[in-house]
Amino acid sequence: MAEGKGLARSAGALAGIKVVDLTRVLGGPYCTMILSDHGADVIKIEPPQGDEVRDWGPPFDEGDASYFIGVNRNKRAIALDIGKPAGREVLLRLLDGADVLVENFKPGGMEKWGIGYADLEPRFPRLIHCRVSGFGADGPLGGLPGYDAVLQAMTGLMSVNGDPSTGPLRMGCPTVDLATGLYSAIAILMALQERTRSGRGQFIDMTLHDCGMALLHPQAANFFLNGKRPMPLGNPHPNISPYEKFATRTCDIFLACGNDAQFRKLADLLGRPDLASDPRFPTNADRLVNRAALTVELTAAFAAHDGHVIAETLLRAGVPAGPVLAVDEATAAPHTAAREMVTELDGYRGLGTPIKLSRTPGGTRRRPPRFAEHTEEVLGEHGFTRADVAALLREGVLHTVRRK
Catalytic residues: 177
How far apart CA 170 and CA 152 sit, in angstroms, is: 7
Q: Round to whole Å and give the CA distance between 184 and 21.
A: 13
Q: Which amino acid is at 339?
A: R
* Residues present in the chain in total: 404
* Residue-wise DSSP of 237-262: -SS-SSEEEEE-SS-EEEEE--SHHH
If you count DSSP H runs as helices and E runs as strands, how many of each does the chain have, helices first? 18, 14
Maximum CA extent, the chain: 84
CA–CA separation, 287 and 264 (whole Å): 12
Are 80 and 374 in contact by the 8 Å Cβ rule? The answer is no
For 157-195, give one letter per residue: b (16+ CB within 10 A) or e: bbbbbbeeeeeebbeeebbbbbbbbebbbebbbebbeeb
Q: How far apart are CA 53 and CA 46, in angstroms?
A: 11
Minimal CA–CA distance to 53: which of 34, 32, 26?
A: 26
In single-letter form, the type of residue at position 170 comes to R
Angle at 215 between CA 355 and CA 238, to 5 degrees: 115
Give the type of residue at 285. Answer: A
Please count the other Cβ atoms lying within 10 Å of the Cβ belonging to residue 93: 13
Residue type, 66: S
DSSP 278-306: STTSSSHHHHHHTHHHHHHHHHHHHTTS-
* Side-chain-side CA neighbours of residue 225 (13 Å): 7
Beta-carbon contacts of 113 under 8 Å, excluding residues fewer than 6 positions away, are 82, 83, 88
How many other C-beta atoms are found inside a 10 Å radius of the C-beta of residue 236?
17
